[in-house]
Each structure stands twice: as C-alpha cells, then as structure tokens.
A = this chain, B = another copy of it.
Amino acid sequence: MDPTTKINLPESELERVVIVGGGFGGLQLARKLAKSDFQVVLIDRNNYHQFQPLFYQVAMSGLEPSSIVFPFRKLFQGRENMFIRMAEVTHVDTSAKQLQTPLGHCNYDHLIVATGADTNYYGNKQLERLTLPMKSVSEALYLRNSILDDYEDALTTPSYQDRQELVDIVIVGGGATGVELAGSLAEMKTHVLPKDYPELHVQEEFDIYLVQSGDVILKGMSAGSSAKALRYLEELGVKVILNNRVTDFDGRLVTLKDGRTIPSQKVIWAAGVKGMPIPGLPEEAITHGNRLAVDRHNRVAGTDCIYAIGDVAYMEEPDFPEGHPQVAQVAIQMGEHLAKNLRYRHLRGEVWEAFSYNDKGSMATIGRARAVVDIPKPEFHFGGILAWLVWLLVHLFAILGTRNKIFVFLNWLYNYINYNQSLRLIIRPRRGTDTSAG
C-alpha cells in the first residue's frame, strides 16, 4: 500500500489514544477508555482477544478455540469513541507520532504498546524452524492438528523405532505452560488414546517428556508447590528431566546437554518468551528479555507519550527490583492503572500516580482434579482437588463473555464426567476441493 495513505478514521477534536495489541493489558485499557473523552483506536493483528491461560486445552482437544477467544467488535458494540482495526503495526515514527500498518499510517497523541511477548528461541534458528510454539490460539490449533495427524500416521507405521518418533512428545520448559500441557497430555494418554487407538500400544509406547533447565518446575511458585507439581506429573507418568537442556533437534531426534537422545518429531517449545516492541522505538529503551524499559507511569524510556504495558514492559519497583513476572495479572493491572492516569489525571492536568503491582497469587493445574495454588498475603499454599476447583473458578470468571463461560463450563463438566471429549478433529480452513461426504 502507498505509504502516504492514511488509515480511515474520523477526524475528531478528542486526543487520540492508539493501543497496539488487544491482549490482557491492551484490552483492559481499551475497556476503561471506551466511554472516555479520548478517541480510542485498538489495532490488533486478529479480530479477537485470546485467553492465553487455556491455550493448552485447545491444543489437547479439550476446548474449542471459539470458547476462549472473543471478538473485539462484539465487546465494543455501541461505544462511539472506539475504533478497531485489524492490522500488524510495522513501524513507529516517534518524532512524527505516526504508526505504519499495511492499511496505511495512523497518527497518535498517545501510543500504548501492548504487543506482549512471543516465543524465545534464544537465537537458535533451527529450533525456531522445527519446534512447535504455543503462544496463540492459532498455534495451539496447529499443535492439536499435528498431534492428531501423527497418531494417525503411527497406525500405518510398522517399525517400532519410526513409531516412537510419531508418538513421543517432548515439552521444553517447566513453567506453567509446559507443566499444564504435560499434565493434560498425560491424562489424554491414560483415558482417551487407548480407546481411540486400540491398535497402538499406548501405555507401553507413548512417552511424554518435560525438559527443564533448572532444578525445579514452576520456578516462580513456592518450593512446596513446585515439589507437589513435580510429584503430580510423575504420578501421571510424565518423564520430567531436570537440570538439562535441548541442545539439538533435527526434526526427528532430540539431543540433550548430557548427551542423551530422544526420538521424537514433536518438540513443543515453551522455554521462554521475549518482548515484541514495535520497530522504530529507541534502541536504548530495549532492555532485559527484549522488553521496553518503562517508568512507574509506564512511559517508555526516552520517548514522549509512548507507554508500554504487560509482557512487553519492564518496570522496576521496590518490591520487584528485577521487574514483574510476565503474567496476565500484571498486564491487567497496568492497563487499568494507565487508563486511570490518562482519563482522570492527564485530562485534568493532575499529577500521575505511580503503578504498584498487587500480587494476588499464582496457580497451575496438573491434569484432572489436581492443581497447586500460592497465595502471597497471608502466605498460604495448597494443592489437590481444592486447588483444582479454585483454578477452575478463577479461570471461568476470567473468561470474557457469558456464552464462553457457559460453553467452557459445560465442556469441563462433560470432560470430567466422560473423560472423553469429542473435539479430536483435524480441521483446517480450505478454499476448495475438500469434500468427502458420502
């Protein structure tokens, strides 16, 4: 597109806030500004908000993508100051206060960078090309299709060694994503796959590996919860490999740092994330983990009227001298806080308030009816079925939309009773010539 084209937006006397990214932080900010005296433009490459904590259930055929994503337009129906544009922001010109997108350019008075984080391969191009990430609902769906495709292929693979590559799965990274995925995969192996694939020797042949570089899983949680989660995973049959790293993967064989090898075609990379700042922001603002250094008002270092929130932001505060954890709660609180600063303090010319994170705790679920929960104040840890019920409730309430809540709840209930979801479908949108109806 001609770079002189202007993105189609009405002229307005209001100051324009452009939010790039509609994840937890960007969406919270947009909602809080939806009835304010700003013109708000939300730009995202998708037309929906994604509920990241449940991606792993989409990958494991436990939920449909539509149950955990929500279309922006529906959310902002009737908000006359809100404009939604589906585009990828390719560049920002900070002196002209202008963004570039394939739809044209767009000026801003205030720019909010809420672009989040993407999978970090630490510069290893081969791992980037050959392993599977899970940082979007599209990637989760791709992973689901890959897993199911490989089980189908295993049926017609007579050699034991070749079959191992298809049915063994290696998960790299012992954070919440890796642990929840491993637990869920282990449940599927026990309860679903033997019934779906009676021709395969599921219990004997299917292995799930979880490789973690440190000596604990769920590093950010309490020692007690980490240990409990490890025990849960091992009870479920997951082979947890601690203090090790994947050093090489050629698409068929995984090599670990200690020289051990695992034959597998599917390596799920959940070993780290890096911030995704918009190209054009000042180099000096980019800091730890490719994040943007921000002050306590979320202002990006060395810029004017540009703010970063959520996973892409790096803010130090007395209680978090090495920055905040990259979790939904931080993003949501930053979005809400910045909205207040813009709406009440900026528009009235008052002094902005500094952000401080209120840690409400963390949790992870490990398969069916097991989870671990840490509450910080007062410090309290618990696990087992009670933790699992707390996990269910918290996630159910956090999902956007009544319909989604009902559908997720029914799916979980159905799954809990039946051990056996009927979503093991390999569906890809296709333009033509794909019929097989009899």
Contact = CB atoms under 8 A, between A and B. Distances in A.
Interface of A: 7-8, 10, 19, 21-27, 44-48, 50, 52, 64-66, 69-71, 73-74, 77-78, 80, 83, 85-86, 103-104, 114-119, 128, 132-133, 135-139, 141-142, 144-145, 148, 152, 155-158, 195-199, 276, 309-312, 331, 335, 401, 403-404, 406-407, 410, 414, 420-438
A321 to B, nearest CB: 24
Contacts of A331: 438
Given A21-B437, A142-B431, 13 more contacts: A10-B199, A21-B436, A22-B436, A66-B423, A73-B196, A74-B420, A103-B156, A138-B430, A138-B434, A141-B427, A141-B429, A310-B437, A331-B438
A8 B155 contact: yes
Contacts of A139: 429-432, 434-435
B21 A438 contact: yes
A435 B274 CA distance: 11
A74 B428 contact: no
Copies of this protein in the complex: 2
Contacts of A83: 199
A79 to B, nearest CB: 9
Contacts of A27: 438
A175 to B, nearest CB: 15
B406 A118 contact: no
A436 B157 contact: no
A48 B436 CA distance: 10
A376 to B, nearest CB: 24
23 contacts: A23-B438, A27-B438, A47-B424, A48-B427, A64-B66, A65-B425, A69-B425, A69-B427, A70-B422, A71-B196, A73-B196, A85-B155, A86-B152, A86-B426, A103-B156, A116-B436, A118-B435, A136-B434, A136-B437, A312-B438, A335-B438, A406-B410, A428-B428
A65 B430 CA distance: 13
Which 4 A-B pairs have CB atoms at the shortest separation, nearest pair first?
A: A23-B438, A114-B438, A23-B437, A26-B438
A410 B401 CA distance: 15
Contact of A432 (B46, B119, B403, B407): B119
B117 A435 contact: yes
A369 to B, nearest CB: 20
Nearest to A144: B429
Nearest to A8: B156
A233 to B, nearest CB: 26
B425 A133 contact: no
A116 to B, nearest CB: 4
A438 B47 contact: no
Nearest to A48: B425
A138 B144 CA distance: 16
A435 B47 contact: no
A76 B196 CA distance: 8
Contacts of A311: 437-438
B116 A71 contact: no
A424 B118 CA distance: 25
A47 B156 contact: no
A194 to B, nearest CB: 10
A354 B414 CA distance: 43
B156 A104 contact: yes
B23 A77 contact: no
B198 A437 contact: no
Given A155-B8, A422-B71, A426-B46, A77 B196 contact: yes
